[in-house]
Amino acid sequence: MSFVHVITTLLFALALARIDPSVCQMVKGKVSCNDCAQDYDFSGIKVSMKCEGVKNMAMATTENDGSFMVDLSTSHAKLPYDNCHAKLLGGPNNLYASRRNQFSQIVKGRGK
């Protein structure tokens, strides 16, 4: 399978990443693509999260289904995480995605 089109929809997946409003700031998201096989292994893809006003980035590694989770409260001071972004850094295979599709704003989700 050609990896040229493999990661073209990562922006969509990262747009689904969200911050759960609770005592700990948890980011949950999923990396996916439109033209991958249903059982494609997404494990090992590195995703960074950066929030406005915070120097350090948090990092996550995807599971085989493309899901990832990061507890921002362990990486950052307690802030109102209003402007956070996720970016694909790379993985075990070459990721073929435009720069535009490697970067996404994180939106707040509903708490459970």
For the record, the structure tokens of 28 come out as: 């949950």
Domain boundaries, the chain: 10-108
pLDDT tens digits, the chain, 112 residues: what are they?
A: 444 444 555 544 554 555 444 445 678 888 888 778 888 888 999 998 888 777 788 899 999 999 998 877 655 555 555 678 888 888 887 777 777 777 777 777 666 5
Q: Look at residue 11 and give its three-state secondary structure.
A: helix
pTM over 0.75, yes/no = no
CATH topology assigned to domain 10-108? Immunoglobulin-like (2.60.40)
Q: For residues 91 and 36, what is the distance between their CA atoms, to the nearest angstrom?
A: 16
